[in-house]
Structure 1
Amino acid sequence: MTTIPDDLPGADLIEAGLADLCAGEITPSALLVAIGAPRLRALGIDVPSPLPEAPEHALYLLLASRGEDAHSAFNAYRRRLVSFQRALERRRFAPSW
C-alpha cells in the first residue's frame, strides 16, 4: 500500500478509504476513494480493484440512509477529496530548485 502523507488535508479519509476498500467494506471513505480513483492513481496512490460501481450515487444514498443532510455531507466529502488531491499534486510535482 502507498504511504499517504498524514499532514495533507483529508489524508485521514483517504487512508481509511483505502483500508476499507482492501477489506471489502463499503463506507463513505471507501466510496470517496473510489470516486477519486483515477486521479489518485495518476498521483501514485495504489487504489485496489475492483471498485464499487457508481460510487457517487452510492455515497449519496449511504449518507442519506444515515439521516445526514446528504447533499451537504456529499459536497463536504468531495471538497476534502479535492483538497487532498491538490495538496498531493503540489507536493509530488513541486519544482525542487
Structure 2
Amino acid sequence: MVIANFPGAELIKAGLADLTAGLVTIESLLVSIAAPGLRDVGLAVGPPIPDAELQLYALLSARDGLAAHSHYNALLRRVASFRHAAACAR
C-alpha cells in the first residue's frame, strides 16, 4: 500500500522511523498511540512507547504552552484521518 498521499502520511512515516530508531519524538509518540489501528490497516509497527499519550502532551506543553491541548487534538485527528484513508484504500 502506498501511503504517501494519505493525510498525515508525513507524521506516520517519520513516527515509524523514529520508533524503529528508539527515538521519543512527537511523531513516534503518535505512532505509539495509534499502533493498534495502524496494524489493522497493514502497517508494521514495533512495540509502542509506554504512556505515549502523557509523554506526547508533555512534549507539546513544553513546546506550545497553552496551545498544547489544541495541537494534541489536531495531531490525533490527523492520525485518525490517515487510518481512515488507509482503511478505505484496503
> Which amino acid in the other structure matches residue 17 of structure 2?
A
Structure-1 residue corresponding to 2:20: 22
The 5 A counterparts of 1:1-97 are: 4-49=2-47, 51-68=48-65, 69-92=67-90
Secondary structure of residue in 2 paired with 1:9: coil
Secondary structure of residue in 1 paired with 2:77: helix
- Percentage of identical aligned residues: 46
Measure how far apart 1:42 and its partner are.
1.2
Equivalenced residue count is 89
State the 4+ residue runs in structure 1 displaced beyond 6 angstroms.
none
Give the structure with the larger helix fraction: 2
TM-score by length of 2: 0.93
- Aligned Cα root-mean-square deviation (Å): 1.1
> Please, which runs of 5 or more residues in structure 1 have no aligned partner?
93-97
TM-score by length of 1: 0.87
* Separation of aligned partners in 1, 2:54 and 2:7: 24
> Please, which runs of 5 or more residues in structure 2 have no aligned partner?
none
- For the pair shown, the structure with the greater C-alpha radius of gyration is 1
